[in-house]
Amino acid sequence: MLDTHTHAWGPPSEAHPWVNAALVDDVDGFDTHTVYTADRLRDDMDRTGVDEAVVVGYPLPEWTDNYYTRQVVADSDRLYGIVMVDPFAEGAADHLRECMAVDGVVGVRLGAACPYDRMWETFDPEATWLRDAIEERAFWEAAVETDAAVQILCDHRQLDQALELVEAYPGLTYLFDHFAHAGPGTPTGEGTFARFSDLAEYDGVAAKVSEMPHASDTAFPYEDMHDHVRWLVEEFGRERVIWGSDYPNVSDVATYGESLRWLDHVDGLSESDRTWITGRSFRRHVLE
């Protein structure tokens, strides 16, 4: 069992102060310790039956400060890391190379759903800076050189921009987070969410069925989103559909166990399908 989307962070300090007020407010509402360290994450993994996990940088400090993610994955043989790099920043390519040189760091996350001037503070489906980032060729050359997986948080209404990026750099590995912020009322076979069909044409693209407790409008097992799961499996195949809990970000509405066990209730998925979705897909797509 490999959870491809978790978070962990250290306490604020003089060197790494917490500057993201919106996330500080969110953390106060989690059903976990305010400082959710990698040790606490591993304890919760053990209780839930999760063997390994990907720690996605949680930008309580300045959002490109990847110190904690780099530290915990270097110190653990159970954790992998996804960092955050500003592709427009001076030295972005070197920053990415430096992060990818850390054993256990496997990729970089782009917050396309965030306004560029309020990165990881709020969401705006009308943000278009991802399209401009395509021109940052030195950054993308570094991604290719280091075999960095590109994890994208975008709204389904921004999938056309993401498709342009994939078309420009088809040799990279891509992961799309959180149903692209689709909800139960978002149709699957038409409209903006259906752009996943175009993305599925590229072997390097995978869709993550992550943050389910927040995507759904109902309680566990979140049946109002099961059609979206089945549709993604049909489009991508089970080999490119990947589960992630988004724990402890979902702890305000769900336990860690619930953020995993909902998969047991999706009609039409076999045990073999679930084995792929909860670990094997990520290993083949990113780690092999």
* Pairing label, strands 205-210, 105-110: unpaired
Degrees to nearest 5, angle at CA 58 with 56 and 60:
170
Using the 8-state DSSP alphabet, how is residue 188 labeled?
S
Contact 262, 278 (CB under 8 A): no
pLDDT, tens only, 264-277: 999 999 999 999 99
Q: Which residues have C-beta within 8 Å of that of residue 157, sequence separation ≥ 6? A: 125, 126, 192
Q: 84 phi and psi, to 5 degrees?
A: -125, 125
The tens-digit pLDDT sequence of the chain (288 residues) is 999 999 999 999 999 999 999 999 999 999 999 999 999 999 999 999 999 999 999 999 999 999 999 999 999 999 999 999 999 999 999 999 999 999 999 999 999 999 999 999 999 999 999 999 999 999 999 999 999 999 999 999 999 999 999 999 999 999 999 999 999 999 998 999 999 999 999 999 999 999 999 999 999 999 999 999 999 999 999 999 999 999 999 999 999 999 999 999 999 999 999 999 999 999 999 999
The tens digit of pLDDT for each residue in 183-212 reads 999 999 899 999 999 999 999 999 999 999
Beta bridge partners of 152: 110, 176
DSSP characters over 67-129: HHHHHHHHT-SSEEEEEE--TTSTTHHHHHHHHHTSTTEEEEEE-TTS-GGGTTT---TT--H
User: For the chain, which domains are there?
Assistant: 2-287 (3.20.20.140)
